Structure 1
Amino acid sequence: MAGQRRFAGIASEDARLPLLAASVVIAFVANAAGLVAGITSVFPHLMYLPIVLAACWFPRRGIAFSLAIALGYLAMTLPFAGGDAGPVVAALARAMVFVAIGAVISLLILGLREREQRYRAVFDNSEAGAFILTPGDGEPRIEEVNYVGAALLGSRANDLVGEPIIRFLDDPAVWREFQAKVRRDGAVYGYEVPLRRPDGVAVRVLESGGLLPDGRIILTLVDITARTNAEDSLRRTNAKLNMLGRLTQNDLLAGISTLLGRIGDGVQQFDDPALLRYLGGLEQDALVVQRSAEITRDYQDLGLRPADWQPLQSAIREATSCLLLPELSVRSWVERVEVFADPMLDRVFLNLIKSSARHGKTVSQVVITYQVGDDGLLIYVEDDGVGIPETEKERIFEYGACAGGGLGLFLVREILSITNMTIREIGEPGTGARFEIHVPLEGYRII
C-alpha cells in the first residue's frame, strides 16, 4: 500500500509540468481572444490558475513565475490599450496583483513544507515508536509507522500499514480504555500497557497518544521492558534482603534481651561497686543497640514500595494517631496539599514531633504550615520549646547524633531524599525549633 502511494506521488509530480504549461497556454489564449473581442474584465482571472499551481507545486520559483506571467500579460495587453490611461492602469494593477498572489502563496507553501519536513524528521528519527492511526470502519488501523515502532512490533513498516493496532495488545480492553481517554481528553501520557509481538515476545511499553483534528490518533510507544524487568528484579532482591534483615534483627534483639537478662542477674548477684558500675555501662550500651535495632526494624521497608501522591494532612493525622503525648498540642494547616513521597511519609512527621517533645523541654504545641515558593513548596514544622543551638542544627541529622544513639532525624532526611525533598532546621535558639522541608516543583500539587 505504501508502494502504491509512492508510485502515485511520482506520477503526479511528472504530470505537473504538462498541466502547468497547459494552464498557461489556456490562460493566454483566452485573454488574447478576449482582447480581440474587446473583453478585458473576465479572462484575466484565468491567469490566477497557473500562478496558483506554480506557487503550490514549485514554491521556490513561484515568485519568478508569477512575475513572468505578469510581464507576459502586460506585453499582450498594453498594445490594445491604445494609449488610454484607464486600460493601462488596470493592466498594471492586475500585473501587480498577479505577482503579489504568487509571492504570498509561495511563501506560505514554503513555510508549510518547512514545518512538514521538521515534523517528518521528528516522526522518522524519534527514539520512540511513532504511529498514526486512522479510525477505519472498526478498530483503528496503522496508517503510518516509523522504523523504531516497526522494530518494536517485530515487523517492517510496510507490512504494518493497514494492520489493526489491537492485534498487538495482550488485553484489547486496555486499548479501548486508552482510546476513550484520548477522545475525551484530547491527549493521554504515560499509559503503561503490555504488547505481544507476532513472534510471541512480550514487550512492556509506555504509551502516549493525542487526537488529531481529522479524528486520527498519533501514538508513541517507549519500550520499558528492560526497566520493568530491572525493577522487578530489584524488588525481589529487596524483598529477600528485607527478609534476611528481619531474621537478623530478630536474632539480634533476642540476643540483646538475653544479654540484658544476664546483666540483671549479675546486678542482683554481686555487690562490688566497681563491678556494678561496669555492668551498668554494659546495660546502657546494650540498650543503645536494642533501640537502634528496633528503629531499623521499623524502617526496613524504606524505599521498598514505590513513591506515590499522598495528602499531607492525612500523613500528619496518621502520625499524630500514634502519639501518646496528651500534653502536646499538634495543629496542622496543610489542607489540599499533596506531595509525591515514600509511603513512610507519616514517619517523618512522627519523628519530628517526637524530637520536639523529647528535646524541646518546654514544648507545649507543634504547628505545621506550608508556603508556596518560586522553586517549590516549603513545609514548616515548628514548636515553642527551647530551640536548637546553631552548632547543632546540621549535626542533629547525622547518624547516631541524638542522645542515646537515636536514628530518628537521620531517617527523616533519608525518607525525604527518596523523592528529592530536603530538610533543615532554621529556628532561633531559645524561641523554638523550626524545621523547613523543601519539596521540588514537580513534587507537590494543590488540589
Structure 2
Amino acid sequence: MRLLSPKKQRIYDICIVVSAIAAAFITVVSLNRGIYEVFPYFYLIPIVLIAFSRPKMSIYGTVAIGWLYFAIVFLIGLPDIRAYTLATVWFYIFVSLGVLISTYAQVYRKEGERTCGTYYNSQAGAFSYDRETFRIREANKKFAQIVRYDSDELLQKSLSDLIPDVAERESFIAKIRDNHRVGDIEVQFRAWDGSLRWALVSAAETGEPAVICTAVDITDNKLWQEAISQANKKLNLLNNVTRHDILNQLTALIGYLELSRQDTTDPIMLKYIEKEETAASAIRSQILFTRDYQNIGVHSPQWHNIAETISLASATIDPRKVFINVTLPPIEVYADPLLEKVFYNLIENSMRHGEHVTEIRIRSEEKEDGVDIIFEDNGAGVPDPQKEKIFRREYFKNTGFGLFLSREILAITNLTIRETGTQGQGARFIIHAPRETYRRIMQI
C-alpha cells in the first residue's frame, strides 16, 4: 500500500543498473563459449524491476535493454543466421513484455496511489501493525498528529509503546484476534510528550500479517465529558447538602406547628395551622422529588434486559394479591440506568390507584419502527381527560411525580410512554422503543 520512498527508489534503480550490467556480462561470456539458449532470460530481471519501480519509464527502459542485448549479439555473436534470428525474436519479446508489464504496472500504480492517497490523506487516523510482533508497519499523518509523533518515528514503535496499559492493550488485541473485525473500541494512546490521548478505534485483520486500524480522536470529547461529570458531581453534592439542610429545617418547622396546634384552641388559628402543615407537606414532597429528578441523565445510558429489569423492580414491591405476568422475548433496550424505576413506578401506580387490581400483564409487540412494551392491569383505569395529565409534574396524588419521572427517564434515549387503557377495564401503558434503541439477545 505504501508508495516507494526516495531511498527505496534509489535502491531499485541501483538493482536495475546492476542486473542490466550482469545480464550483458553473462551474454558476452555465453556467446564467447558458444551458449545461445540461456542468457536471454537474465534480461527479464531488469525488465521486471523497471516495470515495478518506474512503470512510466518501463517501455523506454525495456527498449533500451532490448537494444543492449541485440547489439551485443550482433557485435560478438558468430555470423550465424539462426543466432541473429533468435536475437531478433528475443528483442521483440522483450519490448512486448515491457509494454504489457508497463501497462498493467501503471494501472496497478494508479490504483495504489489512489488507495494510498485515501489512506495517508484521510481525516481519520490510520495505522497498521504486525500481527505477530505488534510493531507499527504504517501510519498516516492524521494518526501521527493524534499521538504527536513523526510518521517515520512511529515505524520504530510497537503497540506496547502506544498503549501503555497492559490490560487495555491485551483486551484490544484479543478482541481483534477473536472477532477478526471490530469497531468503535475506546483506546487510550500514549503520545510523544507522555500525555494520554483517547481515540475510537476500528480494526480489521487482512490476508497479510498486518492488522489495519482507523482511529478518530475523541480526547476533547472525553475531557469535555469529564468536566461535565465533575460539574454534575459538584452540583449534586451541593443539591444534596442544601436539600438535607432544608429538610432539617422543615422537620423543625413541622414540629413547631404540631406544638402550636397543641397549645391553642382558637378555631381560626387551628385552621391556619392546618393550612401551614399542608403547605409544609407539599414542600417536603417537592424537595424529595428533586432528589429523584437530579439523578436522571447523570450516568451514561446502557443496554437493559427488560425481563430482568422488571424482575428487579417488582422484587422491591410487596405484590400482595397481585399476580405479575411477564411474557417478553429476550430483548434489550438502550435507556438511562434509572429504567428500573420506570417499571417500579408503573407497578406501584397500579397497586396504589388501580383500586381492585389482581393482575398485571407485561408483553411486547414488534413494530416497523421499533418495539412496544405494553404494561396492562385489570384495575379501575384512567379517565380519558386525565390520560395526558398524569404525566405532568403538576398532576399527582400522594407522593406523586412517579409518571412524570418515568417519562423523563425514558426521554433520555428517545423512548416514549403513553396511556391507552379504557376506564373501568384497566390501565394500559405503552412504552415505545425506536428500532435503534432495542435489540434481541442472542441465544447461546
Q: Report TM bin, short chain.
A: 0.7 to 0.9
Query: CA offsets, 1:159-215, max 9 Å, x none?
Result: 323432322222245333322321221112222222222222222222221101113
Q: Is 1:123 paired with 2:119?
A: yes
Structure 1 position 153, deviation (Å): 2.0
- The equivalent residue for 1:309 is 303
- Residue 384 of structure 1 pairs with residue 378 of structure 2: yes
What residue identity is the alignment partner of 1:238?
A: N
Q: CA deviation at 1:118?
A: 5.2
Long gaps (5+) in structure 2: 14-49, 71-80
| CA apart distance, 1:23 | 9.3
Match of 1:105 in 2: none
Query: Which segment drifts farther, 295-304 or 221-230?
Result: 295-304
Amino acid at match of 1:129: G
Number of the residue aligned with 1:285: 279
Give the equivalent residue in structure 1 for 2:324: 330
AA aligned to 1:3 is P
Separation (CA, whole Å) in 2 of partners of 1:397 and 1:7:
76
Supply the distance in 2 between the matched residues of 1:140 and 1:163 (Cα, whole angstroms).
9
Whether contact under 8 Å (1:363, 1:383) holds in the other structure is: yes
Aligned pair partner of 2:100 in 52, 58, 75: 52
Farther off after superposition, 204-213 or 332-341: 332-341
Mapped partners of 1:253, 1:324: distance in 2: 28
Q: 1:270 aligns with which of 246, 264, 267?
A: 264
Matched residue, 2:130: 134
Residues 1:117 and 1:380: Cα distance change in structure 2 (over 3 Å):
farther
Residue 6 (structure 2) pairs with residue 3 (structure 1): yes
Q: TM-score, normalised by structure 1?
A: 0.76
Cα gap change, 1:23 to 1:334, in 2 (>3 Å): farther
Counterpart of 1:324 in structure 2: which amino acid? D
Contact 2:63–2:94, Cα closer than 8 Å, also in 1: no
Shift of 1:149: 0.7
Identity, % of aligned pairs?
Answer: 32
Per-residue CA deviations over 1:325-358 (Å, capped at 9, x if unaligned) read: 4032222222522222222111101111222223
Map 1:248-263 to 2 at 5 A: 248-263=242-257
Counterpart Cα distance in 2 of 1:23 and 1:435: 85
Q: Is the 8 A contact 1:204 1:223 kept in 2?
A: yes
Q: Which amino acid aligns with 2:59?
A: L
Q: Is 1:20–1:53's contact at 8 Å kept on the other side of the alignment? A: no
Which string of whole-angstrom CA distances, capped at 9 and with x for unpartnered residues, describes residues 351-398 of structure 1? 112222233223222211112222222111111122223322222111
Q: How far, CA to CA, are the matches of 2:134 and 2:63 in structure 1?
A: 42
> Is 1:356 matched with 2:350?
yes
- One-letter code aligned to 2:258: G
CA contact (8 A) 1:128 1:148 kept: yes
Deviation at residue 308 of structure 1 after TM alignment: 1.8
Q: Which amino acid aligns with 2:196?
A: A
1:423 is paired with a residue whose SS is: strand
2:240 to 240, 246, 255: 246
1:247 match: secondary structure: helix
Q: More deviation in 403-412 or 365-374?
A: 403-412
Contact 2:59 2:95 (C-alpha < 8 Å) held by counterparts: no
Aligned residue for 1:306, secondary structure, equals coil
SS in 2 for 1:313: helix
CA separation of 1:330 and 1:289: change in aligned 2, threshold 3 A = farther
For residues 15 and 173 of structure 1, the distance between their equivalents in structure 2, rounded to whole angstroms, comes to 51
Whole-Å separation in 2 of the counterparts to 1:377 and 1:121: 44
- From the superposition, tell whether residues 23 and 443 of structure 1 become closer, same or farther in structure 2 (CA, over 3 Å): farther
Structure 1 residues 33, 259: CA separation in 2 closer, same or farther (over 3 Å shift)? farther
2:188 to 186, 191, 194: 194
- 1:81-138 deviations in whole A, cap 9, x for unaligned? xxxxxxxxxxxxxxxxxxxxxxxxxxxx6xx955x55543432333321012234xx6
1:410 lines up with 2:404 in the alignment? yes
Unaligned runs of 5+ in 1: 38-42, 60-108
What number of residue pairs does the alignment pair up?
A: 386
Q: Is the 8 A contact 1:292 1:406 kept in 2?
A: no
- Which deviates more, 47-56 or 222-231? 47-56
Indicate conservation of the 8 Å contact 1:426/1:436, yes or no: yes
Change (3 A) 1:9 1:352: farther
What aligned pairs does 1:6-155 form with structure 2 within 5 A after superposition? 6-7=9-10, 12-13=53-54, 15-21=57-63, 49=97, 52-58=100-106, 113=110, 116=112, 119-135=115-131, 139-155=133-149
Q: Deviations over 1:306-328 (max 9, x none)?
A: 22222212211121122134032
TM-score by length of 2: 0.77
Paired with 1:129 and 1:319, the residues of 2 have a C-alpha distance of 45
